[in-house]
Structure 1
Amino acid sequence: MPIYEFRCTDCGRKTTVLTLRVSEQVEPKCERCGSAKLTRLMSRFALVRSEDDRMDDLADPSSLGDLDENDPKTMARWMRKMGKELGEDAGDDFDEMVDEMEAGGGEDSDEGGDGGAAGGEDDF
């Protein structure tokens, strides 16, 4: 069963379509905006790995060498890698947050934030 990937030309979101046969004609639509203006992407081959192997790779300290927790762009790349390794879709909210971080924004750039879980000096 082939899985085809498409990129929406309207919103830029990647969409995957599962077909039952290679010969099956598909008319994909964007999962985010519903547009039919999609471009087919060249997909990578899937490599089946055990969950233990994926967790070992994530826990490897050498993979954290270039991670700068003060740089939103490197944090966004790391978060995307974590999401791919875990093999689960974190949802549109997560994707939008990571896109914003890669663009140089993020929670720290919002003036009206809640100060995080620990709060701030204004709490007293």
Structure 2
Amino acid sequence: MTSALKRQRRPHVPIYEYRCQECGHVQEQFHRSLAKARVPACATCPSKEMKRVISRFATPKTEAQVLEQYGSPGPGAGPDAYRDPRQIGRWAEERFDQMGVEMPAEAKQMIDAARDGDLPDPVKDL
């Protein structure tokens, strides 16, 4: 049997989200099988009153939808422009301008450092 067929037959492994009815904390719970699924206790308070919530999900976007939502990457940018962490700074600056809000000094420093090649820790490995 080919690996493609094996992948098609493999059951989905559910990850559910639960909200604590006492403190409001939302947490994910991985279940190896639906038959053995148990409602977890809250990770932030001692409550066992958890309710399953409907999770948000992502939908794939076409290139046209990405351009419509985020704008053109600019002249000379290649197809990987949106994968470049340095573009995040450009996008952030534009959004602050559109909202009429002044960008915090710390954010400006991080953007300038990223443009010089010193990426912040969360995006260094992208």
- Could you state the TM-score of these two structures normalised by the residue count of structure 2? 0.42
- Could you state the TM-score of these two structures normalised by the residue count of structure 1? 0.42
